Amino acid sequence: MTMQVIVDAAGGQVGGAARYRAELLGYLARTGRRDVRVLRPDRQITPGWLVRRELTGSGGGRLVSVNNVGFVRPGGERWTLLASPLDFLTDDEWANLHPALRRETRYRAPIVHLAARRSDVVIAPCTGMAERIARTLPSLRTRLTVRLHPISADSVPRQPRDPVILCPVLFAAYKHMVPRLRELVAALDAYGDPAVQVLVTAVRAEVPGDLAAHPRIRLVGHLQHAVLVELWARSRAVFFPSAIESFGYPLAEARVNGQPVIAVDTAQNAEIAGPALRGFRIGDADSLGRAVELALTKDVEPDPEPFDPGAYFDWLLGPGR
């Protein structure tokens, strides 16, 4: 008899959480697995939800949380995906965190840590995130494994690409997107091609007026993945300058789709983006200028193999029957 797998997929409805959830639901639709029960992928995480989900299903089988807060009830195997770097910051990162985010994290992180200690298997989406977890919770080292997030090879249609750089980043305070966009615009002006535009997944309230009105900038708002893929398909390159990430789906999407991605030159970004990375150093205009030029002039071959959804979810959920 096949044991039931329960997956808590509640959480953010845009960004990386939504992207991961789309791959999970796509896998289940393709495979038709009846042994997997997904809990409330359409809702946010609340304290009340965390209490109710603990009462769901029997005490056996595999309990999988893909939203950072692991199951704590006894019985079954408890598997937890930890994919929020804010719960595992360094001292320097914590000191520089926006006060509002510091308050939220001070409340949330102890809950995340407590639940992680109850987990039988802890999953990090890259080596850098695994190092964050192990540094903060050394007792988890023997239960910690690295698995790159899944991405379908055909998730973005192949179309002719326009002179466009897509910036698919949520404007969280810790990502410092406004100064990064100013630096990118300056680099593009220095590059000299007036046709190159930057499509930014932000709304007017998130961007200063002078930047929003810049002729190179086009704000497209917060888009669901199904809409965003059309912009991906026609973009020449991707701009993803965030320095604090657990993974960074745009890095992997660029590698899978064969698009250069302009991102900070770190070991974590190199692990995820691979040959698609056009790295730069924050505050170094020359390195950003070189990254922009390479992104706009050098092609990248698609490389979907490291992110195979079938292999990933067969492992996470078990092979089923």
The pLDDT score that the predictor gives to residue 159 is: 82
DSSP class of 308: -
Dist CA 265 CA 262 (whole Å): 9
Domains of the chain: 5-151+307-317 (3.40.50), 162-303 (3.40.50.2000)
How many CB atoms neighbour CB 273 within 10 A? 27
How are beta strands 77-81 and 62-65 bridged, if at all? Answer: parallel
Segment 22-76, tens digit of pLDDT: 999 999 999 999 999 999 777 788 888 888 898 876 667 899 999 999 999 888 8
The pLDDT score that the predictor gives to residue 59 is: 64
Residue 204 makes CB contacts below 8 A (sequence gap 6+) with: 212, 219
| Res 169 pLDDT > 90 | no
Percent of the chain at pLDDT exceeding 90: 74
Whole-number Cα distances in Å, 312 to 23, 24, 98, 252: 10, 10, 35, 15
Residue 148 makes CB contacts below 8 A (sequence gap 6+) with: 125, 126, 247, 252, 272, 306, 307, 312
Query: How does the average pLDDT of the chain come out, rounded?
Result: 92
